[in-house]
Amino acid sequence: GQQLNQSPQSMFIQEGEDVSMNCTSSSIFNTWLWYKQEPGEGPVLLIALYKAGELTSNGRLTAQFGITRKDSFLNISASIPSDVGIYFCAGQLLSGNTPLVFGKGTRLSVIA
Amino acid sequence: NAGVTQTPKFQVLKTGQSMTLQCAQDMNHNSMYWYRQDPGMGLRLIYYSASEGTTDKGEVPNGYNVSRLNKREFSLRLESAAPSQTSVYFCASCFGGANVLTFGAGSRLTVL
């Protein structure tokens, strides 16, 4: 099936640092979504992107839909302990009404 | 609270036993999905139902069956459980189209 390459796989950062993660694919997507999963819970939507080049913020989080439609990134500024979790990118392929494809996730740990 | 409800939250089975995971949503969503989550593998789609009365295979359907009982409910059945089916299972739903999924809290299944 289609694959999204999400990196990094894990990150250990100091509280207050900025974080950047990204997803890339060889396929073109018409929607990019970013989810966060906390321990014992299901993923929760953070940001949805629908247009190439779109830059959207949600508090300290900023995500962009790549111009080529083949990538997206998520930045977290001034990290805090509650940012800990697994972050997933997900995309919907350009062709047809198909289910989302998910990246394998970035596990974020924040050291106070 | 409105959302996606999964039962049971935890289950232990012996190899060869059968069981059904239940999922219900009260958001009037058209589409419903079952994913499994394994360490390092991200979220993999098992089956989905784009609308009431239809079901389709996802990336990893072998060993599973589904039933879209009505618009609200979508169940996942394991007819003869195997240790390889030990995983955390997530149900999700959306209106369709842009695929902005809402996830349940997950069902942790262990097969001995």
Q: Which positions in chain A touch B104 (Cβ < 8 Å)?
A: 42
- From first to last of its 112 residues, chain A has per-residue pLDDT tens of 667 999 999 999 999 999 999 999 999 999 999 999 999 999 999 999 999 999 999 999 999 999 999 999 999 999 999 999 999 999 998 766 688 999 999 999 999 8
> Are the beta carbons of A92 and B90 separated by less than 8 Å?
no
Count CB atoms within 10 A of the CB of residue B19: 16
Question: Which of B41, B101, B106 is facing A100, going by the closest CB pair?
Answer: B101
pLDDT digits 0-9 by tens, B54-66: 999 999 999 999 9
B28 conformational bin, left if phi > 0, alpha if psi -120 to 50, beta if neither:
left
Provide the percentage of residues in chain B whose pLDDT is more than 70. 97
First-to-last C-alpha distance (Å) of chain A: 39
Return the residue of A nearest to B39 by Cα.
A104
DSSP string, B14-52: -TT--EEEEEEE-S--SEEEEEEEETTTEEEEEEEESST
CA angle A57, B97, A62 (to 5 degrees): 10
Count CB atoms within 10 A of the CB of residue A92: 21
Q: Which positions in chain A touch B45 (Cβ < 8 Å)?
A: 99
> Are the beta carbons of A97 and B101 separated by less than 8 Å?
no
Q: Are A48 and A57 in contact (CB under 8 A)?
A: no
For β-strands A85-93 and A101-102, DSSP reports them as antiparallel
Q: Are A36 and A46 in contact (CB under 8 A)?
A: yes
- Of A102, A97, A96, A98, nearest to A36 by C-alpha is A102
pLDDT digits 0-9 by tens, B20-75: 999 999 999 999 999 999 988 889 999 999 999 999 999 999 999 999 999 999 99
